[in-house]
A and B are shown apart, each in its own frame.
Chain A
Amino acid sequence: MQPRDNTNHQVTRRQFLRTSAGVTLVIGAGGLLPRLSSCTNAEELYEELKQHVVTAWVRLAEDGSVTIFNPAAEMGQGSMTSLPMIFAEEMDADWSKVRVEFSAQEPSIYGSGGWGGDKRMLSAGSRVTKSYYPVMRQAGAQARLILLESVATHWQVPVSELATEPGFVVHRASDRRIGYGEIVPFLQIPESIPEIPESELKDPNSFRLIGKDQPRTDIPSKVDGSARFAVDVRLDNMLYGVYERGRVHGARPTLRNEADILLLDGVVQVVSLDYAIGVIAERLEQALAARDQLDISWSDAEATGFDSQEAYEEYARLAGTGESGSVIVSEGDVKRAQRQYTSHSADYLNDYVYHAQMEPLNAVVKVSEDGMHAEAWVGSQQGALKLGIPQALDLPPENVKINLMYLGGGLGRRSMTDFVVECAILARQVPGRPVKLIWTRQDDVTYGAYRPMSLQRLTASVDGRGNLMGLQHLVVGDGDRLVASGIRNAFYDIPNQHAEIRTVSHGIRLKHWRAVGHGPNKFAIESMIDQIARKHNIDPVDYRRTLMATSPRALATLEKAAEISDWPAPPAEGRAKGVAFLERSGTLSTGVCEISVDRDTGRIRVHRVWVALDAGVVIHPDNVKAQVEGGIIMGMSSAFKEQITIVNGAVVQSNFDDYQLLRIEDTPESIEVAIIASTEPPQGVGETGTPLVAAAVANAFLALTGKHLRHLPFTPERVLQALAS
């Protein structure tokens, strides 16, 4: 094997592999085993490539079809279309001939930078498009160059005289053109290909795919039932596994009737973990039935005795002490501002929320009979470290193969690999037989990893004309960085700012949840801004215009949102509008909503929503709109309905009957999204809509009723309480 060369500037070896079906362009660093070149079956070849860690971005066939490998997870955010569009743009491929497949899960080859270190394949934080934009452009441009050079040699013309049109190489001087597929028989293998400088990539003004709507490549399979999620995998001789996990996170189980369980129909094995008891059975229904019979005693845990709704009292006490927590922002002197100006203080609370991705967690893992290899079928956002399997099974990473499947939602939950490791542990017990691990919805809810509850104490200091001179933001909550995101105000001109986190710990499992801390933090900040604005009889949009005066891109989103929502127009009787601004994953957005309130039931109705955003270059405009629409719906769901509570350490909710999500009956009449044109690098969009909602709704509620909503979710009971206050 050739030694690997991982320099970023020069790809030292690339190969074209001739096959009966066409050619795989192997572009990039890596060695090939010589025997590969004698391989004639494309599928087999690709399997070999995956196993031998060779970069491969695109496969070209003689019929002109172009298969582009998508390195990111597809969890609904559209990566299966947007990333190949970027590649095809630079390759000048004919989009109608493009097919898309998932790449192998090999971060050293398919990873992107942008995570502050090694290349990773993490699909999280709305960073896929942003981090892969340069990667896909470069790879596509290199593929195009290979085609150009091959044709130049074949036609005996200088490469500089050749150009491309979608799917064709063109030589204008001799009026010749050749389809990409027709190049396959004489493709050449140069010894090296340089990194193509950015200046030689396409001018964004001449993009013909980027910025134009294309039908999503994954949608046809998602309307006829053929899209394959991990839960759909069925393999010969497959067993089924389930676990019983405690309702008190961290509690340790003792199984008291293992012998009885092993006698039940179909039961193959019982497995004890330090937080769960697993059952493997021949059939899923047998595994579930056996689980119901488990007699387990649970130990106490850190969470034992914890009551989430009572904890806010302690949170408030912690916010009031002089103790110092972890300081996130310190600009100017907020204490002096508080002495100098008039201060307003308020506490904002948010309960735990659960991811509720529609596909409950699951995985399929097979360990080879000799125990030396493992193969997994999984929907994962992680794409790194082979999803924890090598560590769990003590295998070298190269002995683990991951087959990425469609994700029935990620939302942050599938960036954890706990469920993959659980499945691997079961599979190790039955080498040679694949195991499908199913989490029921009850498992998924009760052993979730939630967005942390928190209390936010904001103190705003305001001069006589209403100018915001100081903002102190104290967060009390569990989860450290999970409660920190979104606490900065980089686009508001506030001279004195201090943000600080005071950490508590309850032993409850926590994780990134779409937009992470932005949800609670922006709710608090944007609510406080409206409170101050209204106190000084300043229109909330005008107030933000002043705060954003030195941030033109942010201001443009505000102006656009005000325009499309016809902000100055007086609302209809019984309705009011509210506004909120935020930045998330580099995208700037302003949202406006129009609400009404049923004062008898406490039910808030959101009638219309408008969002204006600047996300830099937009690859796929309709998909950006879809992401914002969906983000708004999820924001409404979390703002009005979603609530995990803990009583004596145990999670109270267990399914969609007591953990309610927003239904279609509560959908607004419209969600209008305006994209501000930009040639700046693309930014993340998937999370930008969600955290706009709570603040925009609370601000509209304040405008309508003069009352404050300060505890998420805004359940009817809390709305009635606010109205009565």
Chain B
Amino acid sequence: MARFVLNVNGERKTVEVDPGTTLLWVLREHLGLTGTKYGCGIAQCGVCTIHINGNPAKACALPVDGVANGQEITTIEGLSENGDHPVQQAWIAEQVPQCGYCQSGQIMQAAALLEENPDPTRDEIITYMNGHLCRCGTYLRIIRAIQTAAGQPLTNKDGG
């Protein structure tokens, strides 16, 4: 066991876990941030996507050791204060989710996309989102929602 201090959604969190424990288990089972999901454990499905210093990353593939030391970790719970990030609003406007299990990861990836590229083409959206599986098949609505959110000011970025 070792003690790790994490910066999660702007808060300092301390956990005691074995080195090598994945950030996903730390977030979900130790810190109770269950909006980030477990899907495959091998970075193939994207449901565990979070931001590390604003960049999308797959929490299932990150040992906690590497993300301590003050790196800014943002989960879906910290994306906006009231669930009103433009991407979240667009997800509601386009009625994207069905079962909803993959959507935290999709939204975190989409938010990062718009941060990098505020007005992506359809092809750019598809390329950026291709690491995210949705078994309910909401892909067309995801594309629409990103297009809806595109060009809107990202005022609530990363808990801001």
- In Å, the complex CA distance between A292 and B119 comes to 46
B residues near A406, Cβ cutoff 8 Å? 99-100
Chain A residue with minimal CB distance to B107? A223
- In Å, the complex CA distance between A359 and B103 comes to 12
Say if the beta carbon of A667 comes within 8 Å of chain B.
Answer: yes
- In Å, the complex CA distance between A629 and B141 comes to 9
Q: Are B137 and A630 in contact (CB under 8 A)?
A: yes
Say if the beta carbon of A323 comes within 8 Å of chain B.
Answer: no
In B17-40, the 8 Å CB interface with A consists of 17-18, 21-22, 25, 28-29, 32-40
Q: Are B40 and A225 in contact (CB under 8 A)?
A: no
Say if the beta carbon of B147 comes within 8 Å of chain A.
Answer: no
What is the CB-to-nearest-CB distance from B61 to chain A, in angstroms, rounded to a whole number?
13
B residues near A410, Cβ cutoff 8 Å? 99
What is the CB-to-nearest-CB distance from A160 to chain B, in angstroms, rounded to a whole number?
41
A residues near B136, Cβ cutoff 8 Å? 76, 358, 409, 630, 633-634
Q: Are B132 and A407 in contact (CB under 8 A)?
A: no
Contact with A along B74-111 (1 / 0, CB 8 A): 01110110010000100110011111111110010000
Say if the beta carbon of A700 comes within 8 Å of chain B.
Answer: no
Which of A212-220, A271-279, A394-402, A707-715 lies at the interface?
A: A212-220
Say if the beta carbon of B2 comes within 8 Å of chain A.
Answer: no
In B101-142, the 8 Å CB interface with A consists of 101-104, 107, 126-127, 129-130, 132-142
Q: Are B98 and A225 in contact (CB under 8 A)?
A: no
Within 8 Å by CB of A222, from B75, B97, B142, lies B97
Say if the beta carbon of B8 comes within 8 Å of chain A.
Answer: no
Say if the beta carbon of A465 comes within 8 Å of chain B.
Answer: no
Q: Are A656 and B44 in contact (CB under 8 A)?
A: yes
- In Å, the complex CA distance between A357 and B98 comes to 12
- In Å, the complex CA distance between A357 and B45 comes to 12
Most buried by B among A228, A357, A655, A656: A656
- In Å, the complex CA distance between A223 and B141 comes to 14
Q: Are A408 and B37 in contact (CB under 8 A)?
A: yes
Say if the beta carbon of B47 comes within 8 Å of chain A.
Answer: yes
Q: Are A408 and B99 in contact (CB under 8 A)?
A: yes
Q: A665-B126, A665-B130 are in contact. Are A629 and B140 (CB under 8 A)?
A: yes
Q: Are A664 and B129 in contact (CB under 8 A)?
A: yes
Say if the beta carbon of B150 comes within 8 Å of chain A.
Answer: no
Interface residue range, chain A = 35 or more
Q: Are B135 and A356 in contact (CB under 8 A)?
A: yes
- In Å, the complex CA distance between A359 and B37 comes to 8
Say if the beta carbon of B159 comes within 8 Å of chain A.
Answer: no
Q: Are A656 and B42 in contact (CB under 8 A)?
A: yes
Q: Are A358 and B102 in contact (CB under 8 A)?
A: yes
Q: Are B135 and A285 in contact (CB under 8 A)?
A: no
What is the CB-to-nearest-CB distance from B20 to chain A, in angstroms, rounded to a whole number?
8
Contact with B along A274-293 (1 / 0, CB 8 A): 00000000011110010000
Within 8 Å by CB of B138, from A232, A630, A661, lies A630
- In Å, the complex CA distance between A440 and B138 comes to 24
Say if the beta carbon of A537 comes within 8 Å of chain B.
Answer: no
Q: Are B137 and A223 in contact (CB under 8 A)?
A: no
Say if the beta carbon of B143 comes within 8 Å of chain A.
Answer: yes
What is the CB-to-nearest-CB distance from A454 to chain B, in angstroms, rounded to a whole number?
23
- In Å, the complex CA distance between A629 and B95 comes to 13
Q: Are B29 and A76 in contact (CB under 8 A)?
A: no
What is the CB-to-nearest-CB distance from B96 to chain A, in angstroms, rounded to a whole number?
8
- In Å, the complex CA distance between A671 and B143 comes to 13
A residues near B129, Cβ cutoff 8 Å? 664
Say if the beta carbon of A639 comes within 8 Å of chain B.
Answer: no
Say if the beta carbon of B54 comes within 8 Å of chain A.
Answer: no
Q: Are B45 and A283 in contact (CB under 8 A)?
A: no
Say if the beta carbon of A626 comes within 8 Å of chain B.
Answer: yes
B residues near A677, Cβ cutoff 8 Å? none
B residues near A285, Cβ cutoff 8 Å? 17-18, 21-22, 25
Say if the beta carbon of A389 comes within 8 Å of chain B.
Answer: no
Q: Are A622 and B95 in contact (CB under 8 A)?
A: yes
Q: A285-B17, A664-B143 are in contact. Are A407 and B135 (CB under 8 A)?
A: no
What is the CB-to-nearest-CB distance from B19 to chain A, in angstroms, rounded to a whole number?
11
Say if the beta carbon of A203 comes within 8 Å of chain B.
Answer: no
Q: Are A234 and B29 in contact (CB under 8 A)?
A: yes
- In Å, the complex CA distance between A218 and B95 comes to 10
- In Å, the complex CA distance between A624 and B14 comes to 46
In A623-677, the 8 Å CB interface with B consists of 623, 626-627, 629-634, 637, 655-657, 661-665, 667-668, 670-671
- In Å, the complex CA distance between A148 and B142 comes to 45
- In Å, the complex CA distance between A231 and B37 comes to 9
Most buried by B among A76, A220, A226: A76
In A176-224, the 8 Å CB interface with B consists of 215-216, 218-224
B residues near A667, Cβ cutoff 8 Å? 126, 139-140, 143
Q: Are A76 and B99 in contact (CB under 8 A)?
A: yes
Within 8 Å by CB of B103, from A223, A265, A407, A657, lies A223
Q: Are B98 and A226 in contact (CB under 8 A)?
A: no
Say if the beta carbon of A83 comes within 8 Å of chain B.
Answer: no
- In Å, the complex CA distance between A218 and B75 comes to 20
A residues near B101, Cβ cutoff 8 Å? 229, 357-359, 408-409
Q: Are A664 and B142 in contact (CB under 8 A)?
A: yes
Say if the beta carbon of A579 comes within 8 Å of chain B.
Answer: no
- In Å, the complex CA distance between A215 and B97 comes to 11
Most buried by B among A224, A360, A626, A629: A224
- In Å, the complex CA distance between A668 and B138 comes to 12
- In Å, the complex CA distance between A94 and B135 comes to 34
Say if the beta carbon of A77 comes within 8 Å of chain B.
Answer: yes
Say if the beta carbon of A411 comes within 8 Å of chain B.
Answer: yes
What is the CB-to-nearest-CB distance from B91 to chain A, in angstroms, rounded to a whole number?
5
- In Å, the complex CA distance between A218 and B92 comes to 10
Say if the beta carbon of A78 comes within 8 Å of chain B.
Answer: yes
B residues near A283, Cβ cutoff 8 Å? 17, 29
Contact with B along A285-303 (1 / 0, CB 8 A): 1100100000000000000
Q: A226-B35, A358-B39 are in contact. Are A670 and B95 (CB under 8 A)?
A: no
Q: Are A225 and B35 in contact (CB under 8 A)?
A: yes
B residues near A440, Cβ cutoff 8 Å? 41
- In Å, the complex CA distance between A622 and B96 comes to 11
B residues near A633, Cβ cutoff 8 Å? 134, 136-137, 139
Say if the beta carbon of A553 comes within 8 Å of chain B.
Answer: no
- In Å, the complex CA distance between A222 and B94 comes to 13
Say if the beta carbon of A605 comes within 8 Å of chain B.
Answer: no
What is the CB-to-nearest-CB distance from B81 to chain A, in angstroms, rounded to a whole number?
10
What is the CB-to-nearest-CB distance from B89 to chain A, in angstroms, rounded to a whole number?
8
Q: A218-B100, A285-B25, A356-B135 are in contact. Are A657 and B95 (CB under 8 A)?
A: no
- In Å, the complex CA distance between A661 and B137 comes to 10
- In Å, the complex CA distance between A684 and B88 comes to 30
Q: Are B139 and A219 in contact (CB under 8 A)?
A: no
Within 8 Å by CB of A216, from B37, B41, B95, lies B95
**A-B CB proximity, top 10 nearest:** A225-B35, A633-B137, A222-B100, A408-B101, A76-B98, A76-B99, A224-B83, A630-B137, A225-B76, A232-B34
* A residues neighboring B (CB under 8 Å): 75-78, 215-216, 218-229, 231-232, 234, 240, 265, 283-286, 289, 356-360, 406-411, 438, 440-442, 622-623, 626-627, 629-634, 637, 655-657, 661-665, 667-668, 670-671
* B residues neighboring A (CB under 8 Å): 17-18, 21-22, 25, 28-29, 32-42, 44-45, 47, 75-77, 79-80, 83, 88, 91-92, 95-104, 107, 126-127, 129-130, 132-143
16 additional A-B residue pairs with CB within 8 Å, beyond A216-B95, A408-B99: A78-B98, A222-B100, A223-B88, A223-B107, A284-B29, A285-B17, A357-B99, A358-B101, A406-B99, A441-B40, A632-B137, A656-B45, A663-B132, A664-B126, A667-B140, A667-B143
Q: Can you pick out 20 interface pairs between chain A and chain B where the beta carbons lie within 8 Å of each other?
A: A76-B97, A222-B100, A224-B35, A225-B34, A225-B104, A231-B38, A265-B18, A286-B18, A408-B37, A411-B135, A441-B45, A622-B95, A629-B137, A631-B137, A633-B137, A655-B44, A656-B39, A662-B137, A664-B142, A667-B140
